[in-house]
């Protein structure tokens, strides 16, 4: 197939590029690089791969035949979307509309990256696809939650009105190599803090829960969904649920760090509990996560250690032989 991956330079998008290339497909990654990075694609040498720098909220322009669009473009970390609320709303709404327009023009299928955030601060636990959610539309997370809810609605409208073969994956907390060190999510924060011996920052009392899925498991679920006949949303995530405090202790044990735990204010509307009900993914895709948390965290940790060392080299003072910048008053 010839597959377009919007957000192809991002954390999940770049892993999807790898997977699709390894399956023999041709891949065109499209990204405006506001939260993605070409570093995530630098290892790709295949001549079946190309990259287009485009802001899909303004249109997405790809020549030639297209079989499938994996629509992953969006800021996804709470820190990113709080800084970029308008871009987040635009890419969820206009970007999704443009991606659907491209799918329609090319006769292609489209898979939307949706999110557990569409359940908001959930009143049903664990969350199954039939739950409608509990979202504060005007709160700080509303820009992401409502953008993705709109995206799901327009995808279903294109499916019903134009017969496009659409899929919707609701992604729960995912971690792994290529997350940005500074993306602000709990996994990169804790691993970076533990590596540097800084305090692990616990927001609130740390009793809120999350369930963490390793990126290769997520990619496997998405790939199966793309090839499936399922047009309604499917949760993909790991049902293994931890409180943030339990997770901090796990990171301390795994890294052997002496880092203390430091409490910070809980961000507004931070969901109190989150765990995917994956019965549907099990039944329809014959999928379930395979990578244990400790194993996934170890490979993520070694990625972060390398990334932190590379940062240190970049920031190291220049060799004294080189001309030094003149200090100005
Ligand atoms: N969190 C935390 N310390 C951090 C970063 C996050 O305690 O340094 C908490 C955050 O309040 C939330 C959970 O960890 O309850 C997961 O946050 P993340 O930003 O990873 O993603 P979310 O699941 O909220 O989208």
Counting from 1 in the atom list of ligand 1, the atom nearest the Cα of 173 is 23
> What pLDDT digit, counting tens, does each position of 149-193 carry?
999 999 999 999 999 999 999 999 999 999 999 999 999 999 999
Rounded Cα gap, residues 153 and 159, in angstroms? 10
208 lines ligand 1 (CB under 6 A): yes
Nearest Cα neighbor of 44 from 31, 27, 56 is: 27
> What pLDDT digit, counting tens, does each position of 220-231 carry?
999 999 999 999
142 Cβ contact list (under 8 Å, min separation 6) = 135, 136
Query: Residue 212 in contact with residue 187, Cβ under 8 Å?
Result: yes
Q: What is the mean pLDDT of residues 129-158?
A: 98
**144 is known as an active-site residue:** yes
267 lines ligand 1 (CB under 6 A): yes
What distance in angstroms lies between residue 223's CA and the mean position of ligand 1's atoms? Answer: 27
User: Which amino acid residue places its CA nearest to atom 3 of ligand 1?
Assistant: 202
What distance in angstroms lies between residue 129's CA and the mean position of ligand 1's atoms? Answer: 23
220 Cβ contact list (under 8 Å, min separation 6) = 287, 290
**Marked catalytic residue, from 81, 119, 144, 175:** 144
Query: Residue 46 in contact with residue 68, Cβ under 8 Å?
Result: no
Rounded Cα gap, residues 127 and 267, in angstroms? 22
What is the structure's pLDDT at 315?
76
Judged on CB neighbours under 10 Å (0-12, 13-18, 19+), 108 is buried
> Which tops the pLDDT comparison, 267 or 318?
267
> What pLDDT digit, counting tens, does each position of 111-126 carry?
999 999 999 999 999 9
**Residues in a beta bridge with 4:** 28, 69
Rounded Cα gap, residues 113 and 115, in angstroms? 7
321 pLDDT above the threshold of 70: no
Counting from 1 in the atom list of ligand 1, the atom nearest the Cα of 248 is 7
Rounded Cα gap, residues 297 and 240, in angstroms? 14
Kind of pairing between the strands at 241-243 and 209-211: antiparallel
Residue 175 has φ and ψ, to the nearest 5°, of -140, 165
185 lines ligand 1 (CB under 6 A): yes
Helices (H) and strands (E) in the chain, counts: 10, 13
Token digits of residue 125 = 């636990």
Nearest Cα neighbor of 227 from 23, 86, 13, 10 is: 23
What is the structure's pLDDT at 324?
47
Token digits of residue 41 = 């694609």
Query: Residue 286 in contact with residue 226, Cβ under 8 Å?
Result: no
Assign residue 23 a region (left: φ > 0; alpha: ψ between -120 and 50; beta: otherwise). alpha
User: Which amino acid residue places its CA nearest to atom 12 of ligand 1?
Assistant: 270
User: Which amino acid residue places its CA nearest to atom 18 of ligand 1?
Assistant: 185
Percent of the chain with pLDDT over 90: 93
Mean pLDDT of the chain: 95
> What pLDDT digit, counting tens, does each position of 101-110 carry?
999 999 999 9
User: Which amino acid residue places its CA nearest to atom 24 of ligand 1?
Assistant: 270
Rounded Cα gap, residues 135 and 139, in angstroms? 9
The CATH number of domain 2-309 is 3.90.650.10: no
Q: Parse the chain into domains and list their residue ranges.
A: 2-309
247 pLDDT above the threshold of 80: yes
What is the structure's pLDDT at 309?
87
Kindly indicate the confidence band of residue 327, based on its pLDDT and cuts at 50, 70 and 90: very low
> Which tops the pLDDT comparison, 174 or 325?
174
201 lines ligand 1 (CB under 6 A): yes
329 pLDDT above the threshold of 90: no
What is the structure's pLDDT at 318?
54
What distance in angstroms lies between residue 186's CA and the mean position of ligand 1's atoms? Answer: 5
Residue 306 has φ and ψ, to the nearest 5°, of -65, -45
Rounded Cα gap, residues 148 and 171, in angstroms? 11
174 lines ligand 1 (CB under 6 A): no
325 pLDDT above the threshold of 70: no
């Amino acid at each position: 197939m010839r597959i377009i991956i919007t957000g192809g330079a991002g954390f999940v998008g770049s892993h999807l590029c790898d997977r699709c290339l390894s399956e023999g497909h041709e891949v065109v990654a499209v990204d405006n690089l506001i939260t993605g990075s070409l570093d995530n694609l630098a290892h790709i040498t295949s001549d079946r791969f190309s990259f287009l720098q485009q802001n899909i909220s303004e249109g997405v322009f790809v020549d030639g035949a297209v079989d499938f669009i994996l629509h992953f473009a969006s800021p996804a970390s709470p820190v990113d979307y709080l800084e970029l609320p308008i871009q987040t709303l635009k890419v969820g709404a206009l970007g999704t509309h443009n991606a659907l327009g491209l799918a329609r023009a090319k006769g292609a299928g489209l898979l939307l990256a949706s999110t557990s955030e569409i359940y908001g601060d959930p009143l049903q636990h664990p969350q199954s696809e039939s739950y409608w959610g509990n979202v504060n539309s005007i709160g700080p997370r509303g820009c992401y939650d409502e953008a993705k809810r709109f995206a799901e609605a327009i995808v279903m409208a294109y499916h019903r009105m134009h017969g496009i073969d659409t899929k919707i994956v609701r992604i729960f907390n995912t971690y792994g190599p290529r997350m940005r060190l500074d993306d602000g999510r709990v996994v990169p924060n804790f691993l970076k803090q533990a590596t540097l011996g800084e305090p692990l920052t616990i927001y609130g009392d740390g009793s809120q829960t999350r369930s963490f899925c390793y990126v290769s498991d997520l990619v496997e679920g998405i790939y199966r969904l793309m090839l499936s006949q399922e047009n309604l949303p499917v949760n993909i995530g790991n049902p293994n649920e931890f409180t943030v405090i339990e997770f901090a202790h796990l990171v301390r044990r795994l890294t052997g760090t002496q880092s203390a735990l430091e409490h910070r204010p809980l961000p507004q509307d931070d969901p109190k509990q989150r765990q995917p009900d994956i019965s549907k993914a099990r039944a329809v895709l014959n999928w379930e996560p395979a990578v244990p948390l400790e194993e996934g965290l170890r490979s993520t940790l070694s990625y972060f250690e390398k990334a932190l060392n590379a940062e240190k080299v970049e920031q190291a003072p220049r060799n004294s032989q080189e001309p030094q910048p003149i200090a100005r008053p």
